């Protein structure tokens, strides 16, 4: 695969009602209902809201055969109102429900981790199900979740991308054996690093075995608001931008119809990479993200060397208003006189405006490269693009250990490919200079900035590239850009600057008000920087998706909550009205509480 030029993955076509998937069709957008599947009226109305917002598939949970059969009632009611959007049944634990759903809707999702375990049991249950699907023309999604791998897989692989792929391949090999081709696959996790690696590994594994099934992409339990959008864009966008993915779902802890515009923006932005001017020659040996660890650069004044990436805020317009919850490490002020600003700020000025001060550092342009080595500053920056990284420049970067690159791809549609190529050019030259990733945007709404920046920067950080981030949005406030940069670094697990919430979007299994609960938990705990708290509607993915969470809040029944410390359930069946207070007490008892 060419990671410098856009090369879409070729997938087979899957028939899902009147909306085919894969094989050159557009990236399909879907969402999932969060009302009870047995509440036909509410289910129909919510489905209509999602369809009107642009959803091309609608998923409902089906806990048992009763819910699975009612999907047929919902489907009929939608048809009577003029809606023929395909419905998907989401099945956990109950193969009989999957069999029933296959007779009622256009597609059934099963989770290998809790559908059946043991190779013979898988065959005994899965083959009859496939026979029903073949007869009815029903599509199947083999949907592996990081949080619900079977005990057998866990014992052999642990909760790893390799385990996720192994679990999926057991089912796919059966599909191939019996020539059942109407299959979609997915690898989902709340951890973007795990999710992206699992999908890439699956693509490679399927290709080696002659499989080209289309892919459904999603980050589970992404959360809500800005964090949910950034996390989803990092995970989904870093794959779409390489042509991987045929359908997506942005899982937000909000109303399902709110997911659709976000997914549409994400698909549209990543699609812009198509048809870009190609990089005519490969600038480095073959690039395989699966084999890439973080690029080890030299340490220059606390930048590089595997240290957490720095944040550079662009304030060349004279705006020096800051959100003190997200203080940048450096402030780029352009030609502004540093004497007008306090010594407590670390400032970057254009080299032509630089004055020797302990807290002020110059930034050179390529045309000023001849002056770099004469400058006495202990830390110097130089802004470069791919075309400036010739042998002369890499030689300068290698000699002058005080230099850090600000890598700028300009306004190119293929910015990610260009930056990858530039960093590989440094690696090929044996140059270990630190690299700050820089991009400029002109967005007037925060959501568009969050999605685009998360795709661009998130892809490169997940590749293992980048010692810092520098984002300039000409159309918005610098404090919004600062917060976005910190959010991206948290989403790629490179720098934690706030409490992290792993919260599911809810479905028909959720027996409490998820959105209100998330708000209450955040209100009580948002000052606990670095702590990870899982907020899950039910037990299906609860403990598993919270594998690296410090504490968990999981629905156990109507109005009842289980509280976890790590994977261990500490308190069971706590009344919902007491659960947030008990969670706070649990955090205090284990010494992780800090006063706001």
3-state secondary structure 374-425: HCCCCCEEEEECHHHCCHHHHHHHHHCCCEEEEEECCCCCCHHHHHHHHHHH
Give the pLDDT confidence of 194-228 residue by residue, as tens digits. Answer: 999 999 999 999 999 999 999 999 999 888 999 99
The alpha carbon of 561 is separated from its chain's Cα centroid by a whole number of angstroms, namely 28
Structure tokens at 511: 């027996």
Q: Is the pLDDT of residue 321 over 90?
A: no
* Cα separation, 108 vs 97, whole angstroms: 10
Structure tokens at 475: 């159309």
The CATH superfamily holding the domain 500-589 is Sulfite Reductase Hemoprotein, domain 1 (3.30.413.10)
Give the pLDDT confidence of 391-442 residue by residue, as tens digits. Answer: 999 999 999 999 999 999 998 999 999 999 999 999 999 999 999 999 999 9
Give the pLDDT confidence of 489-548 residue by residue, as tens digits. Answer: 999 999 999 999 988 888 887 878 888 999 999 999 999 999 999 998 876 655 666 667
- DSSP H helices, 33-148, are 40-53, 65-80, 95-102, 112-115, 119-136
The CATH superfamily holding the domain 289-491 is Phosphoenolpyruvate-binding domains (3.20.20.60)
Q: Where in the chain are the domains?
A: 28-271, 289-491, 500-589
Give the pLDDT confidence of 41-77 residue by residue, as tens digits. Answer: 999 999 999 999 999 999 999 999 999 999 999 999 9
Task: Evaluate whether 28-271 and 289-491 have a shared fold.
Answer: yes
Q: Percent of the chain having pLDDT more than 70?
A: 97
Give the pLDDT confidence of 145-166 residue by residue, as tens digits. Answer: 998 899 999 999 998 999 999 9
Give the per-residue pLDDT at 508.
81
Question: Which residues make Cβ contacts (< 8 Å) with residue 479, sequence separation at least 6?
Answer: 321, 322, 323, 326
Instruction: Decide yes or no: CATH 3.10.105.10 for domain 28-271.
Output: no
Q: Percent of the chain having pLDDT more than 90?
A: 82
For residue 109, list its beta bridge partners: 90, 141
What is the pTM assigned to this prediction?
A: 0.95
Give the per-residue pLDDT at 13.
98
């Amino acid at each position: 695969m060419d990671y410098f030029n856009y090369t879409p993955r070729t997938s087979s076509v899957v028939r899902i009602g009147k909306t085919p998937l894969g094989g050159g069709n557009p990236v399909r957008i879907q969402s999932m209902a969060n009302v009870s599947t047995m509440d036909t009226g509410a289910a129909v109305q919510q489905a209509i809201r999602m369809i009107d917002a642009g959803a091309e598939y609608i998923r409902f949970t089906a806990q048992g055969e009763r819910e699975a059969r009612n999907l047929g009632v919902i489907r009929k009611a939608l048809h009577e109102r003029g809606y023929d959007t395909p419905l998907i049944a989401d099945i956990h634990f109950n193969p009989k429900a999957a069999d029933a759903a296959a007779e009622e809707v256009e597609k059934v999702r099963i989770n290998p981790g809790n559908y059946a375990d043991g190779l013979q049991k898988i065959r005994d249950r899965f083959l009859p199900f496939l026979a029903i699907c073949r007869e009815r023309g029903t599509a199947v999604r083999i949907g592996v979740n990081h949080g619900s791998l079977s005990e057998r897989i866990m014992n052999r692989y642990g909760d790893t991308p390799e385990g996720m792929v192994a679990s999926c391949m057991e089912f796919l090999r059966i599909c191939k054996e019996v020539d059942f081709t109407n299959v979609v696959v997915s690898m989902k996790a709340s951890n973007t690093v795990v999710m992206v690696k699992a999908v890439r590994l699956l693509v490679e594994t399927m290709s080696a075995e002659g499989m080209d099934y289309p892919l459904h992409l999603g980050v589970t339990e992404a959360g809500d608001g800005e964090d949910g959008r950034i996390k989803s864009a990092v995970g989904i966008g870093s794959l779409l931008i390489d042509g991987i993915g045929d359908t997506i779902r942005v899982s937000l802890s909000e109303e399902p119809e709110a997911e659709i515009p976000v997914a549409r923006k994400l698909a549209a932005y990543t699609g812009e990479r198509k048809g870009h001017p190609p990089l005519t020659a490969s600038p480095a040996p073959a690039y395989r993200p699966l084999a890439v660890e973080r690029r080890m650069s030299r340490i220059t004044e606390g930048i590089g060397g595997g240290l957490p990436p720095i944040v550079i805020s662009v304030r060349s317009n004279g705006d020096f208003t800051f959100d003190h919850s997200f203080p940048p490490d450096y402030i780029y002020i352009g030609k502004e006189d540093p004497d007008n600003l306090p010594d407590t700020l670390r400032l970057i000025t254009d080299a032509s405006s630089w004055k020797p001060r302990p807290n002020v550092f110059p930034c050179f342009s390529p045309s000023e490269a001849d002056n770099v080595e004469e400058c006495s500053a202990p830390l110097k920056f130089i802004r470069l693009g791919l075309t400036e990284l010739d042998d002369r420049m890499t030689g300068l970067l290698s000699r002058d250990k005080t230099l850090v690159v600000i890598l700028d791809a300009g306004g190119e549609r293929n910015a990610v490919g260009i930056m990858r190529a530039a960093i590989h050019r440094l690696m090929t030259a044996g140059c270990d200079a630190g690299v700050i990733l820089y991009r400029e945007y002109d967005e007037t709404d925060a959501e568009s900035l969050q999605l685009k920046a998360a795709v661009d920067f998130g892809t490169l950080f997940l590749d293992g590239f980048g010692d810092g981030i520098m984002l300039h949005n000409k159309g918005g406030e610098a404090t919004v850009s600062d917060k976005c940069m910190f959010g991206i670094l948290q989403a790629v697990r490179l720098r934690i600057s706030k409490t992290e919430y792993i919260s599911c979007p809810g479905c028909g299994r959720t027996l409490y008000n998820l959105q209100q609960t998330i708000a209450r938990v955040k209100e009580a705990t948002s000052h606990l920087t670095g702590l990870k708290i899982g907020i899950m509607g039910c037990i299906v993915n609860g403990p598993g998706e919270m594998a690296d969470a410090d504490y968990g809040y999981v629905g156990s029944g109507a109005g009842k909550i289980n509280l976890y410390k790590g994977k261990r359930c500490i308190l069971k069946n706590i009344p919902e009205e007491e659960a947030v207070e008990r969670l706070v007490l649990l955090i205090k008892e284990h010494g992780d509480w800090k006063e706001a």
